[in-house]
Chain A
């Protein structure tokens, strides 16, 4: 079946502009995660969704970052007034995690490479 998909694959924007990054999880996966990976660095957790709700937003770097998920499926990560330090690869993952399943594997999408000029 289809894996996690993300769009766009690459995004170049000017400082101060808003950007929207999209994630389509694997069909049937109830949990969805966003991570950020700066060049040559590890993965920084941003936020996760269980269904449409986000129990943990602690990783969002600032109030310029927001995310939503509708219909328990597609999620959008929005960065307002982008800054150069926002340049990174934004990775999305999904899993089957729900109340009855523990420690489910997260499956990752190819990422969106964001460059803020």
Chain B
């Protein structure tokens, strides 16, 4: 079965704090892809990152960083020095060979509130 769990329903931080959003996945595939999307209040999902299962290197993009650990089936997302504009719902997603990589399994999302 393919499943993505985002246990944190909602997180509130004060601006400039660091925050980590957790994502744990389940899959029987050996080849799979993981994604993070941001959904701001406007509603449109914005792609943030795509990572394949063979690349466990952490990635940093500005204030964003991602920690992929196959040993714990986790793909966590950290925002450093959070800003009010980071307030959004963040979704983690998984796609695998079982469905030819075309079916995305989304977590239930984590709502991040960044207060000034």
Q: Which A residues lie at the B interface, using CB under 8 A?
A: 31, 33, 41-43, 45, 48, 50, 55-56, 89, 91, 93, 95, 97, 102-111, 113
Contacts and interface: CB of A to CB of B under 8 A. Distances in A.
Interface stretch (B11-19, B44-52, B65-73): B44-52
Contacts of B108: 41-42
Interface stretch (B56-64, B77-85, B99-107): B99-107
A109 B43 CA distance: 9
Interface in B91-113: 91, 95, 97, 99-109
A95 to B, nearest CB: 8
B45 A108 contact: yes
Nearest to B33: A103
Contact of A111 (B31, B33, B43, B103): B43
Contacts, number: 62
Q: How large is the interface on B (under 10, 10 to 19, 20 to 34, 35 or more residues)?
A: 20 to 34
Interface of B: 31-33, 35, 37, 42-47, 50, 52, 91, 95, 97, 99-109
Contacts of A91: 45
Contacts of A50: 102
B100 to A, nearest CB: 8
